[in-house]
Chain A
Amino acid sequence: MKFPIHPRYIAIMRAEDLLHPTPAGLYCPSGDFYIDPVRAVDRALVTHGHADHARPGHGAVLATPETLTIMAARYGDGFTGRADAAVFGKATTVNGVNVTFHPAGHVLGSAQIAVEKNGLRIVASGDYKRAADPTCAPFVPVPCDVFITEATFALPVFRHPDAGDEIAKLLTSLQQFTERAHLVGAYSLGKAQRVIRMLRDAGYDAPIYIHGALEKLCNLYESEGVSLGPLLPATVETNDKDQFAGAVIVAPPASLNDKWARRFPDPLPAFASGWMRIRQRAKQRGVELPLILSDHADWDELTDTITEIGPSEVWVTHGREEALVRWCELQGIAARPLNIVGYEDESE
């Protein structure tokens, strides 16, 4: 049975009708597409290449060219039935719904996705940050009715310090502990390349050793125009353990405490992550040199961004939803948690 629709409301869509959470991810019924679905679907719009947002096996994927390249590198060329490249700032139509990709400043190719129909615009920010990053295009604020924000670091305790100062901490330690191999844990897509690029910008030009798991993505960044300088595999060529004394080795965080790390002389474990702001986190992982370097917005960036964009409603997803929703309430901004499952807040 259908209810009669009052003419006054015909043009006005409810935001939940345009986009709403489902077990598979954020779904747009009019356009019949999902944004960053956590399982295989017919049509997916993908904000960026991190594995929890970009999964293989969809019927069709619409994403930035860089994100498509990253997915192909990770999953092979057959990662999707069909791949369509989105251009930043250029609107396309998906089943009558207007879709525009805008830079999110998170990692190479990362985008926010603006979804628009009948005068209602929702921006799904994906993961984003406002701090400068030499490896990707900076975040662009897009006016909208509903802003869907991430909340990875949505607590007032998370304030990322200046990234350059964190890199300086690493360089200082290299001078202080010249006999120790500086083992830098960094997420393999984005963080690792950002750390390397920032070291280069700070004048560090010695070869940087990388874990085998980073090679493919570092090559990809290079071919996308992000120059990383001389990189060498972190394998022991001879029995000469000294080759790593005073060197920088970048590796996925999990490998820091792995048997893999035993090849290095007296390793000094460092970890580049926003979580390193909490001392106990560093201690638990045995990190001696925490580098507070994040690809996610901190508390101030999150709240400043909401203030700047001025949406009439904020939806909060993956992370500390409750704190950001509370802040919005205090500011008189309508807000609610989205409770989408399947995103890992540790992957940073």
Chain B
Amino acid sequence: MNRFAALLDRLVLTPQRNGKLRLLVDYFRDTPDPDRGYALAGITRDLEIASVKPAMIRTLVEERLDQVLFAYSYDYVGDLAETVSLVWPEAETRANRVPTVADVVETLHQASRSDGPGLVMGGLRIGVSARLAKQALAQFGGKDIVEIEELWHGLEPPYLDLFAWLEDRGDKPAPNHSAPFRPVMLAHPLMEKAERADADIAGKLAIAPEEFAAEWKWDGIRVQAAAEGGERRLYSRTGDDISDAFPDVLDALDFEGAIDGELLVMRPDTERDVAPFGDLQQRLNRKTVSNKLLASHPAFIRAYDLLTADGNDLRGEPFQVRRNRLEAFIARHGGERLDLSPLVPFASLDDLAAHRESPPHAAIEGLMLKRWDSLYQPGRPKGPWFKWKRDPFLIDVVLLYAQRGHGKRSSFYSDYTFGVWRPGDNGQELVPVGKAYFGFTDEELKRLDKYVRDNTVERFGPVRSVRAEPDHGLVLEVAFEGLNRSTRHKSGVAMRFPRIHRIRDDKPPGEADTLEALTALLD
């Protein structure tokens, strides 16, 4: 348990992906079965433990520690799970030896009162995605992550056969159900960032209408819907099983095959009129879903591709063939919860650019370009598929607060909170609308950092507020992909994927954008 606790501590505090990978690989190498398997399950959240309510843990602690002392402690630490794990009487664990992860898990299975409150209370916010854990496993075993993703859903903690295979002591585990996840094919941006500055794209690109198909890129989440051998599953593009959150979609998978598509939410009582991304977000990251939400936020799949059909694997066929099969497949099995993403016919690149500029629906975030002869290859092969996103929205904002970054950036103020103007009690006032911590170059970062240090008004721990007045302050051009309504933000809106696009030294803060201008973008 000690070693797992130490690993979690390091993972929580290590910002770099590669650093996390190394910590995980070393842990898998140095930790015996079944501990490492339970730890893996803890990280990927595949550990099912009878639920323990916070109040129950609290009662248990108060049997062991004076209430007033516990209250002082909780007040200081601020987090219930962390407080409990810190004050948990040591004598109980130290009496003989420190328990192993396996001990803890087994004890917890027997009765839900025992050690390890952090694990039980679901307090594992460790910043490791299931995908990263699988990447670490691949690196540890010298395998391709694609192989691990394919067999993952047949596995159960503590993953003894998986580790045996990774250590070349056993055979590759076979998927134990018939609707497995198939690693997803991804696209490259049509132009890399450096090329975007170049206006003359037509001369640089070789997107010939006879070689490429174009289709809309819908603003939902990419999913894979598999219905095979009596099993039905819905997977995210990283292979997480999200079936439980979408019973309405699962019901519609009345076919034998696997579809690649976009998961979207429709406005209620419409014929799949796509709702804003924010509505889809209401449905994500849930273990269960209420009838009310099912009615107000109905989900459906818009199909892009067909991976298997009636027992045949189509991934080795060219896109042209798969597309024909898909159209016939949807014609037969489509319905209220499943439709076809239409192709976008085009005669020239200019034609295509015009489509991109004026898509027919707000929920379209750009175009996908796929070679007619492309096979369905896992990962992100360069050449066959491109995404050509709509230009981002741009607004001019005023820098309000800056926070120190992590890792390489720990000596830089690199996280920026910014605001726009709105009418206040005493004239115009700035209201925070977002936070961005990337998009700038190293050179711009130095300038931003210097500005923050030279214009600090107040400090709150790692955060500084900077001067932000109509004629003294820093204007930033921020790019973002979309805007959602938000009750959690003072401004009532939340930006998607905001990043610093440019420093506008030329613009006085008083001329930055207003909240009114920003909210006009809400549909």
Interface residues of A (CB under 8 A from B): 155-159, 169, 173, 176-177, 256-262, 266-267, 269, 277-280, 282-290, 320, 322-323, 326-327, 330
Complex-state Cα separation, A261 to B406, whole angstroms: 12
Nearest chain B CB to A294 CB, angstrom units: 14
A-B contact pairs, 14 of them (CB 8 A): A156-B70, A157-B76, A157-B83, A157-B86, A176-B23, A256-B411, A266-B408, A267-B408, A279-B12, A286-B405, A287-B13, A288-B13, A288-B406, A322-B72
- Interface flags for B146-160 (1: CB within 8 Å of A; 0: not) read 000000000000000
**B411–A283 contact, CB under 8 A?**
no
Q: Which 10 A-B pairs have the closest CB atoms?
A: A157-B86, A286-B410, A156-B87, A261-B411, A323-B72, A288-B13, A157-B73, A155-B73, A286-B406, A262-B411
Cβ–Cβ < 8 Å partners of A279 in chain B: 9, 12-13, 82
Which of B61-69, B255-263, B293-301 is the contact stretch? B61-69
In the bound assembly, the distance between CA atoms of A271 and B428 in angstroms comes to 43
Report the nearest B residue to A261, measured CB to CB: B411
A330 and B66 in contact, given A289-B10, A290-B9 (Cβ under 8 angstroms): yes
Name the one of A158, A285, A288, A323 contacting B407, with C-beta atoms under 8 angstroms: A288
A contact residues around B407 at 8 Å (CB): 266, 286, 288
Q: What residue of chain A has the Cβ atom nearest to residue B462's Cβ?
A: A284
In the complex, B90 has a CB within 8 A of chain A: yes
Tell me the complex Cα distance, A289–B79, Å. 20
Which residues 381-438 of B sit at the A interface, judged by CB distance below 8 A? 404-408, 410-411
B15 within 8 A of A: yes
* Structural contact, B86 and A285, CB atoms closer than 8 A: no
Cβ A157 vs Cβ B77 within 8 A: yes
Q: Which of B6, B66, B79, B410 has a CB less than 8 Å from the CB of A169?
A: B6
* Assembly CA distance A327 to B69 (angstroms): 8
Measuring CB to CB, which residues of chain B are less than 8 angstroms from any residue of chain A? 6, 9-10, 12-15, 19, 22-23, 26, 65-66, 68-70, 72-73, 76-79, 82-83, 86-87, 90, 404-408, 410-411, 461-462
State the CA gap A283–B405 with chains docked (Å): 11
Q: Which residues on B sit within 8 Å (CB–CB) of A256?
A: 410-411
Query: CB distance B461 to A284 under 8 Å?
Result: yes
A157: chain B residues within 8 A (beta carbon):
73, 76-77, 83, 86-87
Shortest C-beta distance, A205 to chain B (Å), equals: 24
Distance in Å: Cβ of A281 to nearest Cβ of chain B: 9
Question: Which residues of B sit under 8 angstroms from A330, Cβ to Cβ?
Answer: 66
**Which residues from A are CB-within-8-Å of B10?**
173, 288-289
Min C-beta distance of B128 to chain A, whole Å: 15
Shortest distance between the CB of B31 and any CB in chain A (Å): 14
Chain B residues whose C-beta falls within 8 Å of the C-beta of A261 in the assembled complex: 410-411
Residues from chain A with a CB closer than 8 A to the CB of B22 are 176-177
Which residues of chain A come closer than 8 Å to B68, judged between CB atoms? 326
Using Cβ atoms and an 8 Å threshold, which residues of chain B touch A267?
408, 410
Query: Would you call B79 and A280 a contact (CB within 8 A)?
Result: yes
Given contacts A277-B86, A279-B12, A287-B13, contact A269 B410 (CB under 8 A): yes
Of B73, B79, B404, B410, which is in contact with the most chain A CB atoms at under 10 Å from its CB?
B410
Q: Select which of B72, B461, B462 is within 8 A of A155 by beta carbon.
A: B72
B86, A320: Cβ atoms under 8 Å?
A: no
Interfacial chain A residues near B23, Cβ < 8 Å: 176
- Chain A residue numbers with a CB within 8 Å of B408 are 266-267
Evaluate contact between A155 and B76: CB separation under 8 angstroms: yes
Nearest residue (CB) in B for A327 is B69
Min CB–CB distance B392 → chain A (angstroms): 29
Interchain CA distance A341-B382 in the complex, whole Å: 66
Known: A169-B6, A286-B406. 14 other contacts (CB 8 A): A157-B76, A157-B87, A158-B86, A176-B22, A260-B411, A278-B76, A286-B404, A286-B410, A286-B462, A287-B13, A288-B19, A290-B13, A326-B72, A330-B66
Q: Report the minimal beta-carbon distance from B132 to chain A, rounded to whole angstroms.
A: 17
CB distance from A157 to the nearest CB of B (A): 4
Report the Cα distance A289→B12, complex, angstroms: 10
In the complex, how many angstroms separate the beta carbon of B12 from the nearest chain A beta carbon?
7
What A residues does B15 contact at CB under 8 A? 288
**Residue of A257, A261, A327 with most partner-chain B CB within 10 A:** A257
- The CB with the most chain B CB atoms within 10 A, among A157, A266, A280, A283, is that of A157
Chain A residue with the shortest CB-CB distance to B23: A176
Q: How far is the CA of A267 from the CA of B461 in the complex (A)?
A: 21
Q: Which residue of B lies closest to A183 (CB)?
A: B410
Q: Which residues of B contact A290 (CB under 8 A)?
A: 9, 13
User: B409: nearest residue on chain A (CB-CB)?
Assistant: A286
Instruction: Tell me the complex Cα distance, A323–B461, Å.
Output: 25
Complexed CA–CA distance, A158 and B76 (Å): 11
B411, A320: Cβ atoms closer than 8 Å: no
A159: which B residues are within 8 A, CB to CB? 86, 90
| Cross-chain contact A257 with B404 (CB below 8 angstroms) | yes
The one of A156, A257, A269, A289 that contacts B65, using a Cβ cutoff of 8 Å: A156
Closest A residue to B85 by beta carbon equals A157
Contact between A280 and B77 (Cβ–Cβ < 8 Å)?
yes
For B412, give the chain A residue with the smallest CB separation. A262
* Complex-state Cα separation, A262 to B405, whole angstroms: 13
- B residues in contact with A177, CB < 8 Å: 19, 22
**Residues A176 and B26 in contact in the complex (CB < 8 Å), given A257-B462, A286-B405, A286-B406:** yes
Q: Which residues of A contact B19 (CB under 8 A)?
A: 177, 288
Chain A residues, Cβ within 8 Å of B82: 278-280
Q: Complex: how many Å from CA A277 to CA B73?
A: 13
**Alpha-carbon distance between A67 and B69 when the two chains are bound, in angstroms:** 36
How far, in angstroms, from A94 to B462 measured CA to CA in the complex? 47
Contacts of A288 in B (CB 8 A): 10, 13-15, 19, 406-407
Chain B residues near A158: list those with CB within 8 A. 86
> In the complex, what residue of chain B is closest to A265 when comparing beta carbons?
B408
Question: In whole angstroms, how far apart are the Cα atoms of A323 and B67 in the complex?
Answer: 11
Known: A159-B86, A282-B13. A320 touches B462 (CB 8 A): no
Beta-carbon nearest neighbor of B463 in chain A: A284
Tell me how far the C-beta of B464 lies from the nearest C-beta in chain A, rounded to whole angstroms. Answer: 12
Bound together, the chains give a CA A259 to CA B90 distance in angstroms of 41
Chain A residues with Cβ below 8 Å from B410 are: 256-257, 261, 267, 269, 286
Of the candidates B70, B73, B79, the one having the most CB atoms from chain A within 10 angstroms of its own CB is: B73
B66 touches A285 (CB 8 A): no
Nearest CB on A from B17, distance (A)? 13
Closest residue on chain A to residue B453 by CB atoms:
A259
Bound-state CA distance A258–B462 (Å) is 12
Task: Tell me the bound Cα distance from A277 to B404 in angstroms.
Answer: 21
A288–B23 alpha-carbon span in the complex (Å): 12
The CA of A157 and the CA of B87, in the complex, are separated in Å by 5
Give the complex CA separation of A286 and B404 in angstroms. Answer: 8
Bound Cα distance A278, B404 (Å): 19
- The closest CB in chain B to the CB of A155 belongs to B73
Q: Which of A173, A261, A278 gathers most chain B CB within 10 Å?
A: A278
